[in-house]
Chain A
Amino acid sequence: MNGLDPHSLVLRMPGGNVLISSLDAAINASRSNSLWTLTFGLACCAIEMMAAGASTYDWARFGFEVPSASPRRADMMIVAGTVVRKMVPVIRTLYQQMPDPKYVVAMGGCAISGGPYVYDSYTIVRGVEEIVPVDVHIPGCPPRPEALLHGLMILQERIRGQSVKAAPVNQA
């Protein structure tokens, strides 16, 4: 962009840096503390995802409260389970339907690499990263709810590191 870029204009203003950084703080606090998930269970990991939402682990505490059935309101897509080739266009469409900024969490071995089905399966997609950009990988088969929460906190930290000056983590 040229000199009319609003970011650089603000930065050239006296005190512009302060403005940007406090804006960053406010935006990042909102974004990181309000991650709504797309309800998108594929296989075993979905059950542990449900467990993470249930009483014992209660991810509502961290603001992951609202499971959104419609991708229009989702902030992150937790790919929980095996991705096969027939599912690829659906996942891609869902990702495109989510509004920016959007994040993808690959939960479990299957979503990371194809997991136990890497060999000898003619339908497997070897990792959801082949389809959509992934922000956090959570290993396990399936990962425990604690692991999922940990992964989501890592995502929160990454969001807090963002700035309006730079492009978001995911520019698809």
Chain B
Amino acid sequence: MGRFLYDLFYNSDLVLNGWSAAAHQSWAARGWPPVILDGLLQLAWAVAAAVFLALNALFIIWFERKVAARMQIRRGPNRVGPWGILQTLADTGKLLIKEDIIPDAADKAVFRAAPLLVLASTFMLFVVLPFGKGLVAADLNVGLVYFLAISGLSVIGILAGGWASNNKYSLMGGMRSAAQIVSYEVPAVLTVLSVALLAGSLRLGDIVRAQPSYGYILLQPVGFLLFLIASNAEINRGPFDLPEADSELVSGFLTEYSAMRFAIFFLAEYTNLFLAGAFASTLFLGGWRGPLLPPVVWFLLKSYFVVFLLIWIRWTFPRLRVDHLMELSWKVLLPLALANLLVTAVLVKVL
């Protein structure tokens, strides 16, 4: 039993593969088509990811509130549950049962679809995310490309939401967001490319395994910084939170959203925050690898550490202006990323 638990945590790939093989065998023995089993297994992954997504969002919102409060010499939520840990649950519960308003002038179908689009693109990223050894829904051989492609998708939902609201603030928020995500995608791709050069693979599992014990952060310090900045901008968080800038655009593309639809956006936003941390730790911090502790724990610790960094940044800096934001991407990050890629390529060839 102890052996089994140890394997479950430390050699999850063996255990999972074993289970999957056994299931396939008994399935085949009954003569049922294996494609259904594959579908069921994928469904199990999806359910697991959904549960994780919800729990993680609950935790991460609470975490951000507490961390921000401590940085601001106050206490943060502490009345609902121990240390206020259930505060997010109360907020979610309230949003669920609140009146859902769809403005008369809105494009109703698109207005309804937008939050789902955003959430779906977020959810899809979990497919390639390696939580631990073998703990990945599908370790695609083009995982990195998949990640880059899907992470750009959420902009469609945001733009749709902003446009469908038929409100100028929403529209401006949506437009800003589109411009921002598209321009920060470029340096993000270039930095990720240098990681791929180092690892010699686009499969995320291979990238994790190819890293030295200290991760790629020491080989790619500039790359890590660039990736952090670019992904921070892509998830629309401060100081790049222009699409939903309170003092300028009321709440940007979210202005007309209420109740459940807002909650979905909110959920997607915080899941994206986690994903930014998760991918940064996968690509630069050695992912789930680490001594002693089980890989899952290492992975979560590293991810939450990066999340903490992002929270720290958010609560320290004022917001950028739109044109400065674009300048930062095209005039600073892009040349840096190119130079970083060039240097990496040369070094990989020479060494």
Pair from one complex? yes
Measuring CB to CB, which residues of chain A are less than 8 angstroms from any residue of chain B? Answer: 26-27, 29-31, 33-34, 54-55, 58, 60-63, 65-66, 68-70, 72-73, 75, 97, 99-101
Interface size on B, residues (CB 8 A): 36
From B93-101, B138-146, B178-186, B221-229, the one touching the partner chain is: B93-101
Bound CA span A97–B98, Å: 13
Number of A-B contacts (CB under 8 A): 94
Please name the residue on chain B nearest to A64 by beta carbon. Answer: B77
From B45-53, B252-260, B273-281, the one touching the partner chain is: B252-260
Known: A70-B255, A99-B258, A99-B259. A61 touches B79 (CB 8 A): yes
Please tell me which one of the listed residues B251, B257, B258 contacts residue A69 in the complex, with CB atoms under 8 A apart: B251
Inter-chain contact A29/B77, CB cutoff 8 Å: no
* Contact of B313 with A by CB under 8 A: no
* Contact of B30 with A by CB under 8 A: no
Which chain B residues lie closer than 8 Å to A68 at the CB level? 251
Please tell me which one of the listed residues A26, A33, A60 contacts residue B65 in the complex, with CB atoms under 8 A apart: A60
Bound CA span A60–B97, Å: 22
Contact with A along B244-287 (1 / 0, CB 8 A): 00100011001111110010000000000000000000000000
Inter-chain contact A26/B93, CB cutoff 8 Å: yes
Known: A69-B251, A99-B100, A100-B99. A31 touches B94 (CB 8 A): yes
Please name the residue on chain A nearest to B66 by beta carbon. Answer: A60
Which chain B residues lie closer than 8 Å to A99 at the CB level? 98-101, 258-259
Bound CA span A73–B69, Å: 22
Inter-chain contact A34/B254, CB cutoff 8 Å: no
Bound CA span A58–B100, Å: 29
Q: Could you list 23 examples of A-B contacts with CB < 8 Å? A: A30-B91, A30-B92, A30-B93, A30-B97, A31-B93, A31-B97, A33-B79, A33-B80, A33-B87, A34-B87, A34-B94, A60-B69, A61-B79, A63-B90, A65-B77, A65-B87, A68-B251, A72-B255, A72-B258, A73-B257, A73-B258, A99-B98, A101-B98
